Structure 1
């Protein structure tokens, strides 16, 4: 599957960049940056939202350990995935 993300805010901490652009990805690997969508690609308009490698929210609080009646690592992970994280 080829995905083309356009109108994104591309953040690359390793390169020190934070700029608008587009990104083309195939099977989880980056094919191109700031190009046009290849034929057959699914285009996603990011509406200026951030696109970055592996962001981790270190401020997340869940009910583990001891409060599984509220939330577990699994339910927190599923909620994050449903929200687009």
Structure 2
């Protein structure tokens, strides 16, 4: 009876050791995944910042284009009006 109890305790101890090794390996894997998750968040944040900068540059370029277009139209219309007022 004592021998079977010792065998049972030994089997329980081996099972606990295996489980603790498995738990530590799982914890290590989750740690790696946590690091990957944080680095992925950093990459996404930098991509969002780059997107915002590109949108700002695009809107600025569009505003500059519209201003140039309006300036050209203003000078052309002004010259056109001056040309025809000289006829009358």
Q: Which TM-score band applies after superposition, normalised by the shorter structure?
A: under 0.3
Higher-helix-fraction structure: 2
Higher-strand-fraction structure: 1
Kindly name which structure, 1 or 2, has the bigger radius of gyration based on alpha carbons. 2
Q: Which structure exhibits the higher relative contact order, with contacts defined as CA atoms closer than 8 Å and separated by 6 or more residues?
A: 1
